[in-house]
Amino acid sequence: MNIINILAVISTAASLSAPVGAENHPSPMKVVSTYKPMAGFNHVVGAERFVGYFLAGPDRCDVTVLQARADDDALSRAPRRMVLQIAAGGRSELDAGFGAALAIACTVDADAIRIAPQSKRDVARAAAR
C-alpha cells in the first residue's frame, strides 16, 4: 500500500469518526478535540493538513501523523509521516508555518489525546494571563 492510499484511508476514517467529548469554546478560543485510541483525526491549521491517530503506550501516547499541504488534494508532494511519543501529561506542537501550530496533548492516564490549533495570537494571550 503506497503513502497516498494510506493517507486516503486515514483521512476517510478521520472524517467518519467524530471527536470524543469535543469541548467547543466560543470565539476567540479555539476548539479542543479529544480522541480515544485508534480514533482518526483530521485538522487543517494554516496551510497544513494533519491526519492521524494514536495508540496508548506505557505511560505515553504514540501519535502517528501525516502532514501535507492543505491545498494539495492531488498529493503532488509526498506527505511527511511522523510518530510522536508524548509522555503522559505532556504535549507537543507541530509547526504549520506563519506562527501557527497543531498542539497535541496526552492525558495523564495516556488514555486520550487533546488536539487544538494554535496561533501566535493564542500564545500571546496565554502569556499575558
Percent of the chain with pLDDT over 70: 69
Give the mean pLDDT of the chain: 81
Residue 30's pLDDT band (boundaries 50, 70, 90)?
Answer: low
Tens of pLDDT, residues 50-106: 999 999 999 999 999 999 999 998 889 999 999 999 999 999 999 999 999 999 999
> What is the pLDDT at residue 23?
41
Cα separation, 7 vs 14, in Å, equals: 10
What pLDDT was estimated at residue 8?
53
Given a cut of 60, whether residue 20 has pLDDT beyond it is no
Query: What pLDDT, on a 0 to 100 scale, did the predictor assign at position 54?
Result: 97
Contacts 24+ apart (CB under 8 A), 84-92: 85/57, 85/60, 85/61, 86/60, 86/61, 86/113, 87/59, 87/60, 88/59, 88/60, 88/61, 90/60, 92/63
What confidence score (pLDDT) does residue 53 get?
Answer: 98
